[in-house]
Amino acid sequence: MGQLTQGVDIVVGTPGRLYDLAANRSLLLQNVKKLVIDEVDVMLDLGFRFQLNNIFELLPEKRQNSMFSATMTEDVEILINDNFIEPEFIAIALSGTPLENIAQSCYPAPNFYTKVNLLAHLLKDKSKYQKVLIFMDSKKNADRLFEALEEEFWKDLGIIHSNKSQNNRMAAIERFNDNASRILIASDLIARGLDLANISHVISFDTPKYPENYMHRIGRTGRAEKLGESILFYTEEEEEWKQAIEKLMEYTIPELPFPEEIKVSKQLTLEEQPRIIEKNPHKKTQREAGPGFHEKKDSNKKTTNLGGGQKLKIKKAKKYKKPITRGSKEMNMKKRK
């Protein structure tokens, strides 16, 4: 805060904190000449769209914008089209080029818990799977996998994602780098930029929706001229995304036969369970008129429905000039006398 009040040339910050400072006028943005957003796809995935849009409104219209993104997602394209004029796209390198020192393979599996059984079977070979980084598509599935493996591999197992505290994340990374654990489960977002060395295997437990994410995953192994191995698990629903990865790489990932000794689980996650759409029992259906419905006779067509017995009495009272009611009991007694 002290440096901001004295004046600075460059400010680096997260979207939320930057907007808070600008909102309370601790940071003035009207003279900003250049805006740089790094890892914009990650920011949008973490839910910072609102803060980014608000920051754009506080910046001067004439400025230079630079954004860096590992994947060109639909959300990134919307952000660019809504806020920038005639943007120019620059590709630094062909992200789909497969690395020669990474051996790739894949396994088909019917569901989540069959993948768990397959993974547990592979991880039992400690001599081969010495340092394994397992990528998950979500925090929920990362926790689900950790719980499924914890009983058998608790000494070797660690997990990191954005819902874990900073201390827990740092402790898990330190144990992994120091070889105190050999298995680390991570979400795509939290693993960006982490310094993890000497990884023997990268296992994509799920198939990423964006093929560029697959390239970033497997790039964690096979570094410093060392050989690495990448294994992809995919279900029938994920096969389309696997094909997109192969199209980007111009390379068909070799498929390994599913081991016969692995149990195919019948247990399904909530997301995998078929959805049953129940019919509304209270919804009325229109029926065609049967023989009980017929046209009125000509003699009955003159009669007008007044909407109820009371209205019919009022009409008769006017016609014969009789009172609508016979009055109170006290008045009737006076008339009789």
**Mean pLDDT confidence for 285-302:** 54
How far apart (Å, rounded) are the C-alpha atoms in residues 138 and 111? 16
Query: What confidence score (pLDDT) does residue 24 get?
Result: 85
Contact between 161 and 187 under an 8 Å Cβ cutoff? The reply is: yes
- Classify residue 283 by its DSSP letter: -
Query: What confidence score (pLDDT) does residue 316 get?
Result: 47
Q: How many CB atoms lie within 10 A of CB 271?
A: 10
Query: What confidence score (pLDDT) does residue 220 get?
Result: 87
- Classify residue 265 by its DSSP letter: -
Q: How confident is the model at residue 314 (pLDDT cuts 50, 70, 90)?
A: very low
Token pair of 62 as six digits: 């004439």
Residue 108 scores a pLDDT above 90: yes
Query: What confidence score (pLDDT) does residue 298 get?
Result: 55
Is 2-83 a CATH 3.40.50.1100 domain?
no
Query: What confidence score (pLDDT) does residue 283 get?
Result: 60
What does the domain layout of the chain look like in residue ranges? 2-83, 102-249
Q: How confident is the model at residue 104 (pLDDT cuts 50, 70, 90)?
A: very high
Residue 330 scores a pLDDT above 90: no
Query: What confidence score (pLDDT) does residue 312 get?
Result: 46
Query: What confidence score (pLDDT) does residue 278 get?
Result: 65
Query: What confidence score (pLDDT) does residue 317 get?
Result: 45
Q: Which residue has the higher pLDDT, 41 or 311?
A: 41
**Which CATH architecture best describes the domain 102-249?**
3-Layer(aba) Sandwich (3.40)
Q: According to the 3-state scheme, what is the secondary structure of 208-244? A: CCCHHHHHHHHCCCCCCCCCEEEEEEECCCCHHHHHH
* Cα distances (angstroms) measured from residue 253 to each of 224, 246, 260: 23, 7, 21
* Cα distances (angstroms) measured from residue 214 to each of 119, 171, 245, 320: 18, 26, 7, 92
pTM of the model: 0.66
Asked if the domains at 2-83 and 102-249 fall in one CATH topology, the answer is yes
Query: Amino acid letter at 303?
Result: T
pLDDT exceeding 90 applies to what percent of the chain? 37
Q: How confident is the model at residue 284 (pLDDT cuts 50, 70, 90)?
A: low
Q: How big is the CA angle at 107 (ends 101 and 110), to the nearest 5 degrees? A: 155
Residue 96 scores a pLDDT above 90: no
**Mean pLDDT confidence for 282-298:** 55
169-178, 181-190, 221-230, 306-315: least confidently modelled range: 306-315
Token pair of 122 as six digits: 């592979």
How far apart (Å, rounded) are the C-alpha atoms in residues 136 and 182? 17
For 30-88, write each residue's pLDDT tens digit: 888 999 988 887 787 777 888 888 888 888 888 888 888 877 778 888 888 888 888 88
